[in-house]
């Protein structure tokens, strides 16, 4: 089987779990990348001096909007969220770090960028797949320590 992550023969006992986890892991990787690209776009727009409209009144669009702490924290949170989603997806491909895959799935659902519209169903799909007993038992390292 080609692609990122584990390359195992077809008769390997991990193959059914890998086939289940690869589609949502790939989509989680895409959502994380979209989060980071959106943040880069916003930072580029700020650097070039583009203004965000604040209402329907054209006079308010012309006024310079100061960069606020809430905007900075939102962009920083979106960058961290995107990076955790990508890291979790890469761990899902390699079937290690169950906890990090779960964190990456949850952070993809945070409504910090427009990519959360894709991140919510994809993160839920990934959580559903990694909680299946046949998939959960094949993860190596950082197994969940809580009953479930």
Nearest to 31 by CA among 107, 92, 100, 131: 107
Q: Please give the residue that has the higher pLDDT: either 129 or 140.
A: 129
Please choose, from the candidates 36, 44, 43, the residue with its C-alpha nearest in 3D space to the C-alpha of residue 72.
43
Place of tokens 């197994």: 143
Q: Give per-residue pLDDT as tens, 56-103.
A: 566 555 555 667 788 888 899 999 999 999 999 999 998 888 999 999
Per-residue pLDDT, averaged over 119-145, amounts to 82
Q: What is the pLDDT of residue 147?
A: 45
* Mean confidence (pLDDT) of the chain: 82
- Alpha carbons within 13 angstroms on the beta-carbon side of residue 136 total 15
pTM: predicted TM-score of the whole model, two decimal places: 0.79
Which of these, 77, 78, 50, lies nearest to 64 by C-alpha position? 50
* Domain residue ranges in the chain: 15-46+66-136
């Amino acid at each position: 089987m080609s692609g990122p992550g584990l390359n195992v023969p077809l008769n390997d006992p991990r193959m059914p779990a890998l086939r289940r986890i690869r589609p949502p892991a790939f989509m989680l990787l895409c959502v994380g990348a979209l989060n980071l690209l959106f943040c880069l776009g916003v930072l580029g727009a700020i650097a070039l001096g583009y203004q965000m409209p604040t209402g329907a009144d054209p006079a308010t669009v012309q006024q310079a909007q100061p960069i606020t702490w809430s905007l900075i924290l939102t962009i920083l949170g979106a960058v961290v969220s995107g990076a955790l989603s990508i890291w979790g997806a890469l761990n899902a491909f390699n079937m290690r770090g169950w906890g990090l895959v779960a964190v990456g799935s949850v952070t993809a659902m945070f409504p910090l960028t427009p990519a959360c519209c894709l991140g919510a169903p994809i993160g839920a799909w990934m959580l559903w797949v990694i909680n299946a007993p046949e998939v959960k038992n094949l993860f190596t390292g950082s197994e969940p320590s809580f009953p479930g």
